[in-house]
Amino acid sequence: MPLSRRTALAGGAAGALAWPEPAGALGSDEQDWAEFRQRFLLPEGRVVDTGNRNVSHSEGQGWALLAAQRANDQPSFNRILSWTLANLRRPSDSLHAWRWAPDSTPPVTDINNASDGDLFIAWALVEAAERWNQPELMRRGLAIARDLQRACFFNLGRRWFFLPGAYGFRNASRVVLNLSYYALPAFHALGRLTRDAAWTRIEADGLALLQEARYGRWGLPPDWLEIDLQTERLSVARNWPPRFSFDAVRIPLYLCWGGSARHVAVQASVEFWMHMEGRPIPAWTDFRGDQLAPYPANAGIASVAQLARAAREGRGAPGLMPRLSAATDY
C-alpha cells in the first residue's frame, strides 16, 4: 500500500520532492489508516489480500498491528491480534503460520512461518505494550523475538543470517535468503528490549550482505539470494525470477527507515528509478539482459522511490506522497 507520511518521515528532515508525479494530496496517517481499515480489514480482525484470492498473511497482520498502534486505534489492534492468535499461532512455539486461505480446508495448510511476518507482529506488540502499558503484550512480543532467534537466525562462518522461515530455506549445499525481510527498525526495537546483541549482529551482517549482493546494470539487490555453504559465494537464487521486484523494493524502504539512507543499495535503487525520469517507473527489472517490466510500478513502489531519492539527497520526506486511495488492491 502507499506509504503514510509518518513512514516517509523516518527518512530524514522535512523537504519536498515532486518526482515521480504524486497520485494525490498528502493526507494524515489517521485518514490512510481509516481507509485501509475500511478496504482491507474485516470486522473479525483479518487483513484481506484482495489481489491474491483474499488470503491473509502473517506479514499483513503484523503490518496492520503496527499501523493500528501508530494510529492509537486500540480496538482495531485488539481485534487484529485476537484473530491472528486464534488462526495463525503455531502450536509448538510463539511463531505464526504464514498464510490463511479462505478457500482451503483447513485454511492453514502449511504451518511454516514467515520471519518478516513474525518480526512485524513482535515489533507491533512491544510498541503497543509501551504505548498502552500492557505487560502481557510485551511478554508475547519478546517470546516471538526469542523464537525467531532460535528458529530463523543462522550462522555460517563469520556471518549470521536471517532466514525467511523456520524450515525450507537451507539444505546441505545452500541457504536461501530474502533480504527484504531485514526490517532494520524492527531489529533496533527488539534489540533494545531484549538487550541481546544478536539483533545488532544480524543487522550489521545484513547491511554488509547488501553491500555485496548487487546484480545487473544498476547493481541492485535481488528478490531472493542464495549462499553456497561450502564457498560462501553469493548468487541470485535459483527457482525464483532473477529480479529486483516486489520483494526487493522494500530494501531501500527499510534502509531509509532504519537510518541507513546512504547505503549503496539505496543509491543503486534511486539511480535505477531516476534513469526512468520522464517515463513511468517499471514494476521490476530482470537481471537477464536488464529487461524492464512491460507495465508500470504501483503507487506503493512510487512512494518508496520518492522516499529513497529524497532521503539519499538529504532532503528528507517528500512533501507529497501517493495516497492509499491510489492503491488498486492490497
Active-site annotation, residues: 59, 116
Largest CA distance in the chain: 54
Sheet holding 243-244, edge to edge: 243-244, 285-286, 291-292
Rounded Cα distance, 58 and 117, in Å: 5
Residue 295 DSSP one-character state: S
- The Cα–Cα gap between 80 and 56 comes to 11
Q: Are 68 and 77 in contact (CB under 8 A)?
A: yes
The cell numbers describing 314, all together, are 538529504
How far, in Å, CA of 62 to CA of 306, rounded? 24
* H helical segments located in the chain: 5-9, 29-40, 58-70, 74-87, 115-132, 135-152, 184-194, 197-212, 250-257, 264-274, 299-312
Angle between helices 184-194 and 197-212 (to 10 degrees): 160
163 Cβ partners below 8 Å, 6+ apart?
Answer: 115, 151, 152, 153, 154, 169, 170, 175, 177
